[in-house]
Structure 1
Amino acid sequence: MMEGNQAAAFAERQKGTLPGNLAIEWEEVANGAARGRFSVTQGHMAPNGFVHAASVIALVDSACGYACAASLPEGAGGFTTVELKSNFLATAKVGEVVACRAWLVHGGRMTQVWDAEAVNETTGRIMAVFRCTQMVLYPR
């Protein structure tokens, strides 16, 4: 388990990867929780004029994954996602801000279950609810 807020370290690690390319910013990445956001640009959009669902999934899945990495049990070497699910309830347009928070539901030795919620900060509407299960990996 990592101690304290690791947001800056994870922001540095994501450069050149999907979360970095989507300009996701992190307020908190810590044991049991994460909070982040992005400002919607044309690069986040689907051809229909609304934010692409994959952009929202990238945000909430990254929040859960980063917080999982910060919450691994002693001796664990990493994790992998074994299941994820989302329900979309609203959308966003260019210039609006999509924010999320993720929290640990179950932190076991072999699995972790995470919930996250994406919110359009501009309208105040909940955009998506998300749940994923992470399998904890140990060195062989």
Structure 2
Amino acid sequence: MTDIDRSAELTAAQAGALPGLLGLEWSTAVTGLVRGRMTVARHHMAPNGFLHAASVVALADSACGYGCVVSLPEGASGFTTIELKSNFLGTAREGDGVACEAKLVHGGRTTQVWDAVVTAEATGKTIALFRCTQMVLYPKA
């Protein structure tokens, strides 16, 4: 069975919501893997002139969340994030490209765990390491 890339569908669906407002772009969204990016703009910045940590978390958490959506087990109706953690190792400036790759590390019936790495596109240096746990939701009987 060929896995269908749902990146265009997810990009269209985010219009008007936070990921769309932040200008997040998705190139890959298949079971177990999501890749995306953003170009750092003024609205992503902290007052000190560096990339705001919340912007990095938004990119990584969106990648993991979209990954969960495309990786839900049969019968599941959705998910909710129950825990997330981020370690910041670098930063970016306005105009820089920032990429994210999220991978499924545990895909159970009731939970999923995702790891994401956020990097500076120009240098390949890691900006952040991110992990989140998603609770898989099912319709009430």
Q: Which runs of 5+ in 2 are unaligned?
A: none
Distance 1:52 1:45 in 2: 5
Name the residue aligned to 1:57.
57
Distance 2:25 2:124 in 1: 19
Name the residue aligned to 1:102.
102
Name the residue aligned to 1:91.
91
- Which stretch has the larger CA shift, 8-17 or 115-124? 115-124
Does the residue aligned with 1:65 lie in a helix, a strand or coil? helix
Q: Which amino acid aligns with 1:55?
A: S
Distance 2:24 2:104 in 1: 20
Distance 2:111 2:75 in 1: 14
- 1:9-88 counterparts in 2 under 5 A? 9-88=9-88
Cα RMSD over matched residues? 1.0
- Runs of 4+ deviating beyond 3 Å: none
Does the residue aligned with 1:76 lie in a helix, a strand or coil? coil
Distance 1:70 1:3 in 2: 10
1:128 is the counterpart of 2:128 = yes
TM-score, normalised to structure 2's length?
Answer: 0.96
Does the residue aligned with 2:26 lie in a helix, a strand or coil? strand
Aligned-residue offset at 1:30: 1.1
Distance 1:93 1:80 in 2: 31
Q: Which amino acid aligns with 2:94?
A: V
Distance 1:102 1:33 in 2: 6
How many equivalent pairs are there? 139
Distance 1:84 1:117 in 2: 13
